[in-house]
Structures are given as structure tokens and as C-alpha cells.
């Protein structure tokens, strides 16, 4: 193997159960997002643009969609002479096999993969975050500070700070304290779940961590606090830009609308930092004579002859005459027949909605926390169905 200065380990094994039906058939990083992408495309594209050309993708929960989406990484320019994407799933050894018990344990199980590249630094990233970030700058910062580990942080609104892992900093970005979901946060700098470690130190801590029976084998809960207790050189790298953890149905909906509204600089139209993906071939979109589309993102292979306002429509969707779609996300290959109303809803893949149906609440409430109606994948909704938040299963 070619020697690498820094390789990335991308955590993509989580179930993301708070995304409910969206992760019923696939891991969270594989959930469709932004009109034609899957969430993991953002991290993989960041790697491609940042010059990180060797990526291990750690998978565990329902990985089939994810595996076939990534393929051998050529769509992210990660397949070549000196670059690759390797899917790393749990495996069996002489002493039997192990499921990944936590993020740190997943990396521990694959230390031999990291060793093969003799890399000096290891970048740990997540496959379920939406952001456009240059990891090259993070690595440069890490080297300049002669840090042993660097954690990327982003400012979050103070009122939301107690939902995150919060970093309290000393001089020049030194991390003095890390608090997981503090009730009374002392700062609003949240950990993004993006870390760079010196490889040898990481290996030492991972070895120690698996021996610790009380540990849940998690980077945020165990490894970072332990390193802080030991007085290691930990620095925070301030990231300026859009970053979201798409953890719940509501945050999924909000982040989707942010993409639509280009909030805080997230820009899928950026020609320098475009989001790469894998798509199946689709014809151009056809916009019919009766269509009315405003403020929306529409993918290829879509047929629209209805009204679409402030919504995201994925490939292969059909929206027929007099259907009205508002503030909604329509996932791939959904068919919405005529006279259907969809309001503030997420419609799962391949679902068929009979004419005259009403999805979501007719009168949109203007509460701060959005109430989003979710319709599962592969459903057949009879004509004139009514489906709103209360009736939606699992909500």
C-alpha cells in the first residue's frame, strides 16, 4: 500500500432510529437528501475536495443501500491508483466476531486497515452530517498546534447548546473541558463529531478503551474525556459555516429547507465544492402545461403538471394536475395523483397517493418546531385518504 499522511474513517453504521421510517430500510447515511443525494454524499464529497483520498467506511446497520450507492467510490473520485474507498463491516477473526459496540470500537476493530497505510494522522468523520468543509485546513491547524487530537467545533444558538457536546476552551483554542449535553452550557461551541488524531496516540487510547469494561466505546463519551483527564494536547478548530446533524424527522425537514433556502452558506450550486453522488440515469424533467413551480428544487426524471411551492422533489416523481404540494419533501419515485394536497410532509420512496387525498395539515401552524407528517416508503394510499400527523404511524 502507498503510504498516506492522513486517511479518513467514516462512521456510517448507525441506525438513526429517531429518523423513524426513513431508516426502516437503510442506514441513516443512506437516507435520500437534498433532491438527489444521500446524506453521506456530503462527507464523501468533502473528502474528495479536501484531498483525503483514502476512506474507510464503517458500516453495520442495514448497509445494502449504502454499499451499492458507494460502489468503489469512483463517483467521488476516490477510486484510482492511489485512492480508494473501502467498506469496513464487522468481521470474524480466529476468536470469533464482534459487532461494533460503539464508534471507538468500530475504529479499533479496523486498526490494521489504518496501519496498512502507515498514516500519521487519522480523520474521524460521520456519514450523517450536512456540511461543506475543507478537512485540509483542519489537518493544517492540527499540525500547526502540534496537537495530539483536534476537534472541529461550530457555534450553535445558545438556546440549543444543551443538545450538543459543548467544548469549553482556554487560550489559543486549547480544550479545557468537554460537557456532553450540559443543562447550563458555558459556551456555545459544539463538537461536530469531526476529529483528527495522531495515529499512535489514537491506537493507544483505543486499546485501553476496549479493556475498560465500563466504557461504551464512544469517541465523544469515552475517548475525548479520557484524553482530557490525561492532560493530552487537545485543540478545537473553529469551523465557520453551515453544519447540521440530521438526527430527527424535524431536523431532517429543517436541514432540507435550509438547502432550499441556501441558509448560512450551504450551497449545492457551488462549482468548486459541489456535492458528488451516484444517480441512475434519468430523462430531463418535464414541466407540463398546467404546472406551477415556485421556490423549489426539482430533480431529473420528474413529471410535474401540478402546483409545487417551496418543496424538494426527488427523481422519478410524478405530480399530476391540480395536486398542490407545499413545504414538503417528495422522495424518489412517488406518484401523486390529481387533486392531492400535501402540506409540510415527507413522502417516502415509491409511495402512491390516490387522487383527492390530503396529506399533512391543511392550515399550516406557524409554530417554531415544525410538525412534519411522514408517510412511509412503498405505501398505496387509497383515493381521498386523509393522512396527518396524528394518524401517521409511530409519531
Partner 1 sequence: MMLDVMGIIHHIKYENCLQSLTECRSMGAVPFGAKYRLIDFVLSNMVNADIKNVGIITALNLRSLLDHLGNGREWGLDKKRDGMFILPAASHSLRRKSIVDLEDFYVNIDYLKRSKQKYVLIAGSNVIYKLDYNKVLFFHEENNSDITLIYKKDQSWNVGQEPQVFLKIDDNQRIVGINTKCKVKKTDNVSLDTYLIKKELLLEILAECYLQKKWDLVKHVLAKKLKELKICGYHHQGFSTVINSLNSYYNYQMELLLPEKGKDLFISHGAIYTKFNDSPPTKYYPGSEVNSSLVANGCVIAGKVNNSVISRNVKVEREASVHKCVIMPDCVIGKGAYLEGVVLDKNVNIPAGTVLKGSQHVPLVLGKGWESWEERAVEVHE
Q: Which residues share a beta bridge with 171?
A: none
Q: Cell for 349?
A: 420512496
Contact 26, 38 (CB under 8 A): no
Q: How far is the CB of 268 from partner 1 (least distance, A)?
A: 4
Cα-Cα end-to-end distance for the chain: 49
Is 296 a residue that touches partner 1 (CB under 8 A)? yes
Q: Of 279, 378, 380, 386, which one interacts with partner 1 (CB under 8 A)? A: 279
Per-residue DSSP letter, 183: S
* Residue window 299-338: x/- pattern of binding to partner 1, with contact defined by CB under 8 A: xx--x----x---xx-------------------------
Contact 249, 372 (CB under 8 A): yes
Among 101-109, 189-197, 204-212, 269-277, which window interacts with partner 1 (CB under 8 A)? 269-277
Nearer to partner 1, 104 or 324 (CB): 324
Residue 287, phi-psi category: left (phi > 0), alpha (psi -120 to 50), beta (remainder): beta
Q: ∠ CA 238-163-391 to the nearest 5 degrees?
A: 130
Among 9-17, 229-237, 292-300, 373-381, which window interacts with partner 1 (CB under 8 A)? 292-300
Among 144-152, 209-217, 267-275, 371-379, which window interacts with partner 1 (CB under 8 A)? 267-275
Q: Of 295, 364, 384, 391, which one interacts with partner 1 (CB under 8 A)? A: 295
Is 274 a residue that touches partner 1 (CB under 8 A)? yes
- Which of helix, strand or coil describes residue 336? strand
Q: Of 14, 16, 29, 35, which one interacts with partner 1 (CB under 8 A)? A: 35
Q: How far is the CB of 45 from partner 1 (least distance, A)?
A: 9
Nearer to partner 1, 237 or 314 (CB): 314
Is 36 a residue that touches partner 1 (CB under 8 A)? yes
Q: Which residue has the cell 415556485?
A: 294
Q: Which residues share a beta bridge with 244?
A: 130
Is 191 a residue that touches partner 1 (CB under 8 A)? no
Q: Which residue has the cell 418546531?
A: 369
Q: Of 297, 319, 329, 330, which one interacts with partner 1 (CB under 8 A)? A: 297
Q: How many CA atoms lie within 13 A of 356 on its CB side?
A: 4
Q: How far is the CB of 252 from partner 1 (least distance, A)?
A: 17
Q: How far is the CB of 35 from partner 1 (least distance, A)?
A: 4
Q: Of 19, 293, 319, 374, which one interacts with partner 1 (CB under 8 A)? A: 293
Is 173 a residue that touches partner 1 (CB under 8 A)? no
Is 275 a residue that touches partner 1 (CB under 8 A)? yes
Nearer to partner 1, 26 or 318 (CB): 318
Is 283 a residue that touches partner 1 (CB under 8 A)? yes
Give phi and psi for 118, each to the nearest 5: 45, 40
Among 122-130, 160-168, 218-226, 275-283, which window interacts with partner 1 (CB under 8 A)? 275-283
Is 358 a residue that touches partner 1 (CB under 8 A)? no
Compute the distance between CA of residue 273 and CA of residue 267 in angstroms, rounded to an integer. Answer: 8
Per-residue DSSP letter, 73: S
Q: ∠ CA 302-339-291 to the nearest 5 degrees?
A: 40
Q: ∠ CA 195-182-131 to the nearest 5 degrees?
A: 40
Among 9-17, 238-246, 250-258, 294-302, which window interacts with partner 1 (CB under 8 A)? 294-302
Q: Cell for 388?
A: 396527518
Q: Say how many residues touch partner 1, by CB under 8 A.
A: 35
Kindly compute the dihedral angle of the four CA atoms of residues 238, 139, 38, 313, in this order, to the nearest 10 degrees. Answer: 50
Q: How far is the CB of 76 from partner 1 (least distance, A)?
A: 10
Is 292 a residue that touches partner 1 (CB under 8 A)? yes
Compute the distance between CA of residue 10 and CA of residue 30 in angstroms, rounded to an integer. Answer: 13
Contact 38, 30 (CB under 8 A): yes
Contact 349, 322 (CB under 8 A): no
Task: Summarize as ranges the residues that interact with partner 1 (CB under 8 A).
Answer: 34-36, 75, 268-269, 274-277, 279-281, 283-300, 303, 308, 312-313
Amino acid at each position: 500500500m502507498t503510504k498516506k499522511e492522513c486517511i479518513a474513517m467514516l462512521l456510517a453504521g448507525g441506525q438513526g432510529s429517531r429518523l423513524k421510517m426513513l431508516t426502516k430500510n437503510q442506514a441513516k447515511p443512506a437516507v435520500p437528501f437534498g433532491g438527489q443525494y444521500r446524506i453521506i454524499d456530503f462527507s464523501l464529497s468533502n473528502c474528495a475536495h479536501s484531498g483525503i483520498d483514502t476512506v474507510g467506511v464503517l458500516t453495520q446497520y442495514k448497509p445494502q443501500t449504502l454499499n451499492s450507492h458507494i460502489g468503489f467510490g469512483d463517483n467521488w473520485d476516490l477510486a484510482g491508483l492511489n485512492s480508494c474507498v473501502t467498506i469496513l463491516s464487522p468481521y470474524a477473526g480466529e476468536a470469533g466476531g464482534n459487532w461494533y459496540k460503539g464508534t471507538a470500537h468500530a475504529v479499533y476493530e479496523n486498526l490494521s486497515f489504518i496501519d496498512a497505510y502507515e498514516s500519521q494522522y487519522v480523520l474521524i468523520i460521520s456519514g450523517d452530517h450536512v456540511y461543506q468543509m475543507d478537512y485540509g485546513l483542519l489537518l493544517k491547524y492540527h499540525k500547526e498546534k502540534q496537537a495530539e487530537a483536534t476537534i472541529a467545533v461550530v457555534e450553535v444558538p445558545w438556546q440549543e447548546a444543551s443538545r450538543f457536546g459543548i467544548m469549553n476552551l482556554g487560550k489559543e483554542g486549547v480544550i479545557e473541558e468537554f460537557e456532553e449535553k450540559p443543562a447550563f452550557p458555558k459556551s456555545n461551541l459544539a463538537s461536530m463529531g469531526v476529529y483528527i488524531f495522531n495515529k499512535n496516540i489514537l491506537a493507544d487510547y483505543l486499546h485501553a478503551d476496549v479493556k475498560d469494561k465500563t466504557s461504551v466505546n464512544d469517541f465523544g463519551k469515552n475517548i475525548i474525556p479520557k484524553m482530557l483527564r490525561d492532560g493530552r494536547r487537545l485543540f478545537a478548530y473553529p469551523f465557520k459555516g453551515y453544519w447540521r446533524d440530521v438526527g430527527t424527522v424535524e431536523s431532517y425537514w429543517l436541514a432540507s429547507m435550509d438547502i432550499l433556502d441556501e441558509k448560512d452558506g450551504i450551497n449545492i450550486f457551488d462549482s468548486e465544492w459541489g456535492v458528488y453522488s451516484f444517480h441512475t440515469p434519468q430523462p430531463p424533467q418535464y414541466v407540463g402545461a398546467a404546472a406551477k413551480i415556485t421556490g423549489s428544487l426539482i430533480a431529473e426524471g420528474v413529471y410535474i403538471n401540478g402546483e409545487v411551492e417551496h418543496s424538494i422533489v426527488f427523481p422519478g416523481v410524478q405530480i399530476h394536475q391540480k395536486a398542490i404540494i407545499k413545504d414538503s419533501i417528495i422522495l424518489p419515485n412517488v406518484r401523486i395523483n390529481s387533486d392531492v394536497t400535501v402540506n409540510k410532509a415527507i413522502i417516502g420512496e415509491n409511495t402512491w397517493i390516490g387522487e383527492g387525498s390530503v396529506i399533512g395539515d391543511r392550515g399550516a401552524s406557524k409554530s417554531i418546531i415544525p410538525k412534519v407528517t411522514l408517510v412511509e416508503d412503498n405505501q398505496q394510499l387509497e383515493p381521498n385518504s386523509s393522512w396527518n400527523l396524528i394518524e401517521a404511524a409511530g409519531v
